Structure 1
Amino acid sequence: MNLPPAHAGGPLVLTHGYFLTDDPVEQRIMRPYPPLGLLSISAWLDRRGLNHDVIDTTFRSVDDVVAELARLRPRMIAFYVTLMTRRTILGLVRRLRADPKHAGLTVVLGGPDARYNAGDYLDHGIDILVVGEGEETMAALAELDPAACRDPAVLAGIAGLVHRGGDGRPATTPARAHLPRLDDLPRPARHRIDLAPYFNAWRQAHGETSLNVSTQRGCPYTCNWCSRAVYGKSYRRRSAGLVVAELAELSARYAPDMYWFVDDVFTVNHRWLTDFATALDAAGLSIRYECITRADRMTDEVVALLTRTGCKRVWIGAESGSQRILDAMDRRVTVEQVTAMIRAAAAAGIETGTFLMLGYPGETEADILATRRYLQAARPDRFTVTLAYPIRGTEFHDAVANHVTGPAFDDGSDRDNRFPRSYGDRYYAQALRYLNHAAAVDRAGAIWHPRAVRHHLAVGLARAGMWWHRRFSPPDPGSPEGTAEHG
């Protein structure tokens, strides 16, 4: 049977290629959220009257998605790609390329992993990369016919792209300006996907549901391990009244028990936070939420505003309990500030969390022990520990680039990058155990409680392991591991 090529009138498909079944860390903590960035692009296309489909892969299998794409036979498929999903998406693209039903398919990639890896993606079968903010650029691509998608002269006229030029080499078009007013964005098209699996997963794991909301884009800070591939160092925010209107709509439609504000620094603008509290009061809306922020953007007044607006959990970034390491990271915050603000939030009845990173260049055991002292003083309810890995495009990566090794581009991601660290893999495994059990000792209360005794023994064994591997294991490049969350 002769089938027409995939591009002869098929739809545009937006998807993200994240599969929960491939993520053991998420399966353990089970806090999945809808693909908010993709749904924002979908809403923008809807506003422009551009027909498209959205495939949410989170709770599906690769084979199931391949079967649906065979049914839809799209002319264009656009993936939102992160360093976590690179390998899976490229594997899926290979399958599509090998299937005659998808002859002529245009494959587009956007998201945080696209900008600084554009050449590698082009070499692995991707036709076009969207760099930066995606709404307007994706709308421009959606309006093209299939032939135009392969015409370098046409693509050269669309800002915010990387594609193959007429000479076959990567060609970058002028950068697209950020949307000046986030209030002009439509609300994410959550109606295009089924939220029930997310809520069910939350209920089974935590006994409550949660839904993600974005109020801002970008971060004005300069932490040198953090990627700013999409929004740069910009900071833009939706008006508090529009955010509250969206929350009211979501509460009426889905009634989530909690909200998760995905913003990098929720309390960066104190005036906005005051407006947010006023708008919630005016709407008669009561919510519960968690957010992330920085200690230097926290004060006693901000803590009071968080309490007033329904904050139940605040994550305050630390990354290390060593001021020397914080300064090397260009964190622009002190250990004392972080400690004080975690304690202030806890005193106000807000659950607290903090982020830690081990293995940053130049870190020594003294810095790890300082991190232990920070946890002991701050006493957060939860913390996560990540082994440092350099992301392409960051100052951290630039500093170690000549020494970075890793798997083939399509067989891993920046999370798998290796670089010379102070100690070997086995040492850091013991350091992770040490911090985990030491924090558990703090929470156990009575020193002779059986649980406390077990953790004390584990702390001693971990410290012995750190000593042993510091003395006898070579300081080879470490292999970054997944984030561990402790609560």
Structure 2
Amino acid sequence: MDILLSHGYFLPEDPHELKIMKPYPPLGLLYLSSYLKQKSFAVEIFDGTFQTQAQFAHVLSTKAPKLVGLYTNLMTKFNVLEMIRQAKAQHCIVIVGGPDPPYYAEAYLNFGADVVVMGEGEQTLEELIPILSQEKFAQLGAIAGIVFKDEHGQVQRTPARPLLPNLDVLPMPDRAAIDLKKYVETWRRHHGKGAISLITSRGCPYSCTWCSHSVFGKTLRKRNAKLVVDEVEMIRAEYQPDMLWYADDVFNINHKWLFDYAAELKRRNIQIPFECICRADRMNEDIIRTLKGMHCFRVWLGSESGSQRLLDLMKRGVKAEQVQAMTRLAKRYGIETGMFLMWGFEDENEDDVAQTVEHVKKANPDLVLTTVSYPIKGTEYYRRMAEQNLIVSKGEWTSMNDRDYRLAGRHSKRYYDFVNRWMYNELALQRLHESGNGAWLQRARKKINAQLGKLGMRWTAKEKEA
């Protein structure tokens, strides 16, 4: 074995994820595996999704890999730190990559990692594996896109590696390396539909201030539409999923590509329902009609706020009215709509919140997911908050991630719980009004709960998170 690849998502050890039961396979690692195998490397994957950290430790002790590559994001960071500790205890050379390490590279190195990969990992690992396997550490400086410590213990950063210009040179993800059918069966058992994920692109060209581009960058690169359909055909034949999840940052940016892809799916008579994330400013009736014809059953829109002032501050490049119109239009075509909202962004005030509640009512999406904004290191949002000395860290790096940052002067979690109570009940009232359904008692309860949400906001308005 030249390298053991793994990640830090352990479903059996995560009470929150056990309630949700919507696991997706580690596509990034599967791409690395297929690419490296194509280059004649011996690769194994420890897929921890349905296993435990104790089982990972057992694999380390029994297989004794010299190189271990770990993918990490801010949600899996704590597990990955433990995996680094376990790997170093077995004298492995540890490589870490993914969206979290680039802006905390020195911290990961200090904890025990030997090399941090910045950005896409395929070509970097192709060059790293021979050097690390032969312990030619003096040659690390010649590899683009990494951070490491030299023989004097000094942190060295090599120049950034250019993004892969042509994704079609990559083989399909190495789904055969893991028990993918278990993912499909888990989805089917808990949600009635077996799901599989895939991507048609890398990179996002937009500049939303809160969004990290640390792995795939800001350059949109699309795969050849026919090659993606080849992959879908293979997925259908091998795994028989009931639905697909297109895990692209934004699915509908390139209209010509989307029309070509839809035509190829139709030509091959592929009709697998799917969901995806789209931007409202890149939607119109032709796009929505095309998505419907492709059997899209749900589209998620990154709305974030109904306050145009905040949307402009976020550099979202979209109008609230566009989100409302495209949500309504998608629903008219029978596509379920989901909306993402973000509370507490920068200097959000009660008027911004009220505009967002009205925005949600006007759009009337089928699903709404909310979060309280958090500054991810490396983003413009983080930089602006740091420049104003508003970021409060209440712990050591090893015991917190970016979601644990607090912003001085911002409302408390209880306040935003009441905001959600107001918004969700106002939306429920809107649905009852539009459908003409609901007894007076049901409407009265929703109205009372909405008012209690507003009252709760006033009761907790002076509570601050930091």
For normalisation by structure 1, the TM-score amounts to 0.91
1:152-191 alignment to 2 at 5 Å? 153-191=138-176
Once residues 179 and 351 of structure 1 are traced to their aligned partners in structure 2, the CA distance between those partners, rounded to angstroms, is 34
**Corresponding residue to 2:131 among 129, 134, 144:** 144
One-letter amino acid matched to 1:268:
I
> Could you say which residue in structure 1 is the equivalent of 2:398?
410
After TM superposition, give the deviation of residue 145 of structure 1 in Å.
Answer: 4.6
> Could you say which residue in structure 2 is the equivalent of 1:244?
229
**Corresponding residue to 1:63 among 54, 59, 69:** 54
Once residues 28 and 342 of structure 1 are traced to their aligned partners in structure 2, the CA distance between those partners, rounded to angstroms, is 29
| 1:192–1:83 CA distance, 2 compared to 1 (3 A) | same
After TM superposition, give the deviation of residue 475 of structure 1 in Å.
Answer: 2.8
After TM superposition, give the deviation of residue 423 of structure 1 in Å.
Answer: 1.9
Question: How far does the alpha carbon of each residue in 1:117-173 deviate from its partner, in whole angstroms, 9 at most, with x for none?
Answer: 111111111110110111111121222354526x1x211111111000233121111
One-letter amino acid matched to 2:293:
R
After TM superposition, give the deviation of residue 405 of structure 1 in Å.
Answer: 2.2
**Corresponding residue to 2:447 among 456, 466, 477:** 456
RMSD between aligned alpha carbons? 1.6
> Could you say which residue in structure 2 is the equivalent of 1:324?
309
After TM superposition, give the deviation of residue 432 of structure 1 in Å.
Answer: 2.1
One-letter amino acid matched to 1:36:
L
Q: Is the 8 A contact 2:68 2:87 kept in 1?
A: no
Determine helix, strand or coil for the equivalent of 2:253: coil
Q: Does 1:96 align with 2:87?
A: yes
> Could you say which residue in structure 1 is the equivalent of 2:426?
438
| 1:258–1:449 CA distance, 2 compared to 1 (3 A) | farther
Once residues 175 and 318 of structure 2 are traced to their aligned partners in structure 1, the CA distance between those partners, rounded to angstroms, is 37
Q: Is the 8 A contact 1:268 1:297 kept in 2?
A: yes
> Could you say which residue in structure 2 is the equivalent of 1:18?
9
> Could you say which residue in structure 2 is the equivalent of 1:196?
181
> Could you say which residue in structure 2 is the equivalent of 1:113?
100
After TM superposition, give the deviation of residue 443 of structure 1 in Å.
Answer: 3.5
| 1:12–1:449 CA distance, 2 compared to 1 (3 A) | farther
Once residues 70 and 441 of structure 1 are traced to their aligned partners in structure 2, the CA distance between those partners, rounded to angstroms, is 58
Q: Does 1:78 align with 2:66?
A: no
| 1:307–1:147 CA distance, 2 compared to 1 (3 A) | same
- More deviation, 316-325/64-73: 64-73
Q: Is the 8 A contact 1:360 1:421 kept in 2?
A: no
Determine helix, strand or coil for the equivalent of 1:143: helix
| 1:265–1:421 CA distance, 2 compared to 1 (3 A) | farther
After TM superposition, give the deviation of residue 231 of structure 1 in Å.
Answer: 1.6
Question: How far does the alpha carbon of each residue in 1:145-204 deviate from its partner, in whole angstroms, 9 at most, with x for none?
Answer: 54526x1x2111111110002331211112111111111110000000001331222112
One-letter amino acid matched to 1:426:
R
After TM superposition, give the deviation of residue 453 of structure 1 in Å.
Answer: 3.6
One-letter amino acid matched to 2:423:
L
One-letter amino acid matched to 1:119:
E
Once residues 448 and 359 of structure 1 are traced to their aligned partners in structure 2, the CA distance between those partners, rounded to angstroms, is 35
| 1:421–1:32 CA distance, 2 compared to 1 (3 A) | farther
Q: Does 1:124 align with 2:111?
A: yes
One-letter amino acid matched to 2:464:
P
Q: Is the 8 A contact 1:361 1:421 kept in 2?
A: no
Q: Does 1:371 align with 2:356?
A: yes
> Could you say which residue in structure 2 is the equivalent of 1:424?
412
Once residues 321 and 270 of structure 1 are traced to their aligned partners in structure 2, the CA distance between those partners, rounded to angstroms, is 26
> Could you say which residue in structure 2 is the equivalent of 1:3?
none
Determine helix, strand or coil for the equivalent of 2:288: helix
Once residues 332 and 253 of structure 1 are traced to their aligned partners in structure 2, the CA distance between those partners, rounded to angstroms, is 40
Aligned residues: 460
> Could you say which residue in structure 1 is the equivalent of 2:243?
258
- Larger RCO: 1 or 2 (CA < 8 Å, sep 6+): 1
Q: Is the 8 A contact 2:2 2:133 kept in 1?
A: no
> Could you say which residue in structure 2 is the equivalent of 1:481?
none
After TM superposition, give the deviation of residue 461 of structure 1 in Å.
Answer: 1.7
After TM superposition, give the deviation of residue 24 of structure 1 in Å.
Answer: 4.3
1:462-473 alignment to 2 at 5 Å? 462-470=453-461, 473=462
Q: Is the 8 A contact 1:362 1:421 kept in 2?
A: no
Q: Is the 8 A contact 1:148 1:154 kept in 2?
A: no
Runs (5+) with no aligned partner, structure 1:
1-9, 478-487
- More deviation, 440-449/76-85: 440-449
Once residues 220 and 421 of structure 1 are traced to their aligned partners in structure 2, the CA distance between those partners, rounded to angstroms, is 32
After TM superposition, give the deviation of residue 344 of structure 1 in Å.
Answer: 0.7
Determine helix, strand or coil for the equivalent of 1:58: helix
Runs (5+) with no aligned partner, structure 2:
none
After TM superposition, give the deviation of residue 69 of structure 1 in Å.
Answer: 1.8
| 1:165–1:145 CA distance, 2 compared to 1 (3 A) | closer
Once residues 20 and 133 of structure 2 are traced to their aligned partners in structure 1, the CA distance between those partners, rounded to angstroms, is 42
- More deviation, 210-219/277-286: 277-286
Once residues 219 and 409 of structure 2 are traced to their aligned partners in structure 1, the CA distance between those partners, rounded to angstroms, is 32
| 1:421–1:359 CA distance, 2 compared to 1 (3 A) | farther
After TM superposition, give the deviation of residue 264 of structure 1 in Å.
Answer: 1.0
> Could you say which residue in structure 2 is the equivalent of 1:235?
220
Determine helix, strand or coil for the equivalent of 2:406: coil
One-letter amino acid matched to 2:376:
I
> Could you say which residue in structure 2 is the equivalent of 1:87?
78
Question: Percent of aligned pairs with the same residue?
Answer: 41
| 1:211–1:114 CA distance, 2 compared to 1 (3 A) | same
> Could you say which residue in structure 2 is the equivalent of 1:289?
274
> Could you say which residue in structure 1 is the equivalent of 2:464?
475
**Corresponding residue to 2:332 among 347, 354, 361:** 347
> Could you say which residue in structure 2 is the equivalent of 1:382?
367
Q: Is the 8 A contact 1:437 1:458 kept in 2?
A: yes
One-letter amino acid matched to 1:248:
E
